[in-house]
Structure 1
Amino acid sequence: MAESLTPLSFPADGEQAFHHALKRAAHIYLADDHRYANTRQLLTALLLTMLCGAFYVLSLTQPTAWGFVAGYSIFVLTGMLLNVMVFHDATHNTFFRAPWANRLVGRLMTLPLGIDPDYWRIRHVQFHHAYANVEHYDLDTEENGVLRQSPFQDWRGHMRYQHLYWPLIAAISLPYIAWIFDWSDRLGKTPLKAKNILLGGKGWAVFLVSKACHLLLVLVVPLMVFEGSWTTVLLAYPPGVRIVVASPVFPKKA
């Protein structure tokens, strides 16, 4: 993973006319009533939040291991849906009108998954959207040696089977983002270092408190409240956070 990237520049000719026309059309469309969450989206978010909390409480009160795992998994699944439907739009400052409200809801919605919303926002908006599918610049498709996500990445023999093993890799992607990407970003080991995110002691406090709240929510409280075996909680945590929507991949025949 590169720690810095050379800024890209784009020629003034070529597709710039199309780009500007598309931006004008988008602004005209969004100037109506399509930019922020409407009543239906707000009610959907409220319903999902209630379901997420309900299944969390339900999982803690189950007398059996299977009941706990079922409730816990649905709790994480609804948390994932909240991230897709609410946090993503909040990342773009399009769920609420007030930027502070988007930041707050983003911080809360990511607690079940453990992802830091500020680092994910920069990765998603300033790298993925700005350089979608551009090799080395779109950090969402960075070469990893396991999944070949672009025809421009090196091909390895085991990748002929990636259509079979990608669900397993996708399953661990959320914990990987939470515990590898986030910490790599925080320690300045990625191009996000130049973005000066969560600076100083206050930044460290926000980052560490969020991680601690995630662990408190998904591990500490269940370990203290669930009357079953503590091993059930520890074994349920990884599968729970593995619920994720996988990206397309591009195998190449040998």
Structure 2
Amino acid sequence: MSVKSLRILVPVKRVIDYAIKPRVNKTQTGVETTGVKFSINPFCDIAVEEAIRIREGTKGLVENIHVVSAGPTKAQDILRQALAKGADNSTLIETGDKEVEPLSVAKLLQKVIEEDNSNLVILGKQAIDDDSGQTGQILAGLLNWPQATNASKVEFKDDKVFVTREIDGGSETVSASLPMIITTDLRLNEPRYVTLPNIMKAKKKPLKKVKPADLNIDIASRLETIKVEEPAKREAGIKVGTVDELIEKLKASGSL
């Protein structure tokens, strides 16, 4: 393998736990977050796992795995979790409880990548809270790096990275040279559990805190949320005894 070393950056996001059903808040400006369990975004967890597996599957190729999150102070929890799994160091970009849009997140990550001299970024294809699915692509555009999205398999051969991704009716494999961006899909791997000894060790690993202003990035929102509502409840279906009855019902409803 002609790739001499990998400096991997893994962005992670703190979101409402995937097992919890979100509820719209009383002011209808967003979802209720008070008293709600938060955890690492599932796709981000897969990205962390993949970075660690790349290290485990190569001999001395990975020089450093750096995890970074933009969010409130409480996002330290998911950074410590990533450190306990095997990441080397971390950065928290303190943005408070403000929801930062994908373009701003990408600009923040660009600064960290330049400072860290990263040559491979692995991140989730989307966050389960807003489902924007844009950060990886915008980041690739800002850096002018090749990208491979929705990865279900990542391989290193010679001087290239080969990424397999699912498409309608099958799969396709794309390749690119470093530096590059990879976004992860659910089928890529199954994240490991964190052990207590590793949690204790993670407390001694570096966790740097910065603010957007320190990176000279303006995170002002460019979009305004007018109103958030629960989806309309579906009406109960009915059973019909014959095809003729089905046709009559469809005609009556205007569907036929």
Task: Tell me the TM-score normalized by structure 2.
Answer: 0.24
Structure with more helix by fraction? 1
Larger Rg: 2
**How high is the TM-score relative to the length of structure 1?**
0.24
